[in-house]
Amino acid sequence: MRLSRVQDDFQRYLLRGEADIDSHVVGTERVPVATRLGIYGGAYGARLTEALQTNFPALAQLLGESDFEELAAAYIRSHDSSFPSIRYYGHALPEFLTREPAYAEVPLLAELASWEWAMTETFDAADAAVLDAGAMAQVPPEEWADLRFEWHPSIRRAQLLWNVPQLWSAIVKETDRPEPSVSAEAGQWLMWRRDLETYFRSMQSSEAAALDAARAGATFGELCDRLCQWEGEAAAPAKAAGFLRDWLQSGFIVKLSGPA
């Protein structure tokens, strides 16, 4: 029997519970085949459940041990671990929570999972040297309109209907939890990492639109045009300059570039 065949059969047992591996395992009266295989099968599921609990600690606390284990088991059945490290297991959990009928009727769960995964990505993102606020002083005023920006790899955005950040903070800090609440309009949130600390804050719609456009490649002049609908034509340039100053001071921008 080829080793590769045994390995394939064992993998199918772990992932799908298929019994082809039985013929490769020697059992005894004291420890039958099912018991021996169950040790490995149980350990595989337990390790992935532990990974999900590590990546989604607030969700696990909110659901409670029993309900979270039920969610983990359902997710594991439909999502194999596809990364060399299980540190990244669970990337599809937010989408799973929006699709599965048992969880889709509680949209808070998907938003909380999405928030926690974004926080994980923010913390794990690559580092980069950032510009300070004085960088703009080196740019001639006539070149400002054509400026584009490169961004720190840790930046993530979220649009949330529920009070997820407040609930998440209360759970991880073990303070009094606010009652879950939903808004008619999605709130705009920003996450980033500086040094070894992860930060987040809310944004006004105008700043969120400007930031999203700038991260998509818009020039400073194009940001001013976009801000006209919120600030008016006369005030838009000053507002855009204020956003840019704040982004530089917060360590969001790693490079300025002129016309392509």
The pLDDT of residue 30? 54
pLDDT digits (tens, 9 = 90+) for 211-245: 999 999 999 999 999 999 888 888 899 999 999 99
pLDDT digits (tens, 9 = 90+) for 9-65: 455 555 555 454 545 554 455 545 455 555 555 557 788 999 999 999 999 999 999
pLDDT digits (tens, 9 = 90+) for 159-179: 999 999 999 999 999 999 999
For the chain, residues classed under CATH 3.90.930.50 are 126-260
Distance CA 147, CA 255 (A): 10
Q: What is the dihedral of CA 74, 75, 81, 87, to 10 degrees?
A: -120
Span 129-151, average pLDDT:
89
Distance CA 222, CA 89 (A): 39
Is the model's pTM score more than 0.75?
yes
Residue 3 has pLDDT above 50, yes or no: no
Q: In the CATH scheme, what architecture does the domain 126-260 have?
A: Alpha-Beta Complex (3.90)
Distance CA 127, CA 252 (A): 11
